[in-house]
Structure 1
Amino acid sequence: MVRRFKRAVKYRRGSRTHGWGRVGQHRKSGGSGGKGMVGFHKHKWSLVMKYGESGTGWPFYGKHGFKQPLPISIQWRPINVGTLSEIIREMKQSGKAVEEGGRYVVNLLDLGYNKLLGGGSIDIPVIVYTPVASRLAVEKIEKAGGEVRILSAIHR
């Protein structure tokens, strides 16, 4: 079991240093050679050799991983099927929804979305134009009598 205090603390109450010598020793980060990772390339090098993988110094030194630059990374703006159903109802009430053959036509890019996900439920037959759609979303829309049409290019 871990003890909160050493046994000797009881007997050292009243002494200024509790057996650590001159004033200020065994306080703060000076006694450990610096805070955090300070000194890992100098006086704490033995820790790097002991705990780094195969003596390479990892994870202490070097670059790790890769961050995609913004120009080539896609900023996903997803929408769930349930939310899409609510939006279509609002568009239908305001008269902005376009109807084609008994089904409402929705272009997600015009609404500001570029991915269709399968959360929620839909009972309105719709034709959805989207760059990307999940399998579950496609199944739910087809079950409601609609269709998902995938656009060829992914728009950012």
Structure 2
Amino acid sequence: MVVRKEKKTRKLRGHRTMGWGTKGQHRDRGTEGGRQIGMHKHKWSWVVKYGKDWYGKHGFVNPTTKKISAISLRALDQLLESGKIKIEEKDNKKIIDLTKYGYEKLLGSGNISLPITVVVNYCSEKAKEKLNKIGGEVILTPNT
């Protein structure tokens, strides 16, 4: 694009509307697409091609629903083997703080190979049983 040497205002001095037309004089911002008018008539081909779900209801999100990020014993074991979750040692105990990694709940599906102490907000009974069986334990932290 070529850069202007002089400002447009200098070029249009003496012309009443300065190039912005007789009606609006650059006051309005035109049709920016904020109001989606004509989608069922003259923009219908766009709707068919790109906007498959343009019309109709699209579900409901309950505002009182609370999402809890959980991890199973199987997934925890895989993350430990791959080294993505580090084991800390305190008082000759292997401790993993899952709250540091963004997990709030420990689930009991799968098995774990190491006797570890897990610090987490919530834990299922099955996960507690499996950890206690191999010599580990679960420490529940107060929920914030």
Scaled by the length of structure 2, the TM-score of the pair is: 0.51
Query: Quick one: which of 83, 98, 104 aligns to 1:108?
Result: 98
Query: Quick one: which of 128, 134, 138 aligns to 2:128?
Result: 138
1:121 match: 111
Q: SS at 1:138's partner residue?
A: helix
Is the CA contact 1:131–1:152 (under 8 Å) kept in the aligned structure 2? Answer: yes
Which has a greater percent of helix? 1
Runs of 5+ in structure 1 lacking a partner?
A: 1-66
Query: Quick one: which of 79, 93, 98 aligns to 1:87?
Result: 79
Query: C-alpha distance in 2, partners of 1:95/1:111?
Result: 8
Runs of 5+ in structure 2 lacking a partner?
A: 1-60
Matches within 5 A, 1:7-156: 68-69=62-63, 73-91=65-83, 96-154=86-144
> Using a 3 Å threshold, how does the CA distance of structure 1 residues 73 and 113 change in structure 2: closer, same or farther?
same
Note the alpha carbon deviations across 1:97-128, whole angstroms, 9 max, x for none: 21234432111111111111000001201111
1:76 alignment partner AA? I
Note the alpha carbon deviations across 1:41-98, whole angstroms, 9 max, x for none: xxxxxxxxxxxxxxxxxxxxxxxxxx752xx54211110011111222233xx89421
Identity of aligned residues (%): 30
Is the CA contact 1:81–1:119 (under 8 Å) kept in the aligned structure 2? Answer: yes
Q: 1:147, CA displacement in angstroms?
A: 0.7
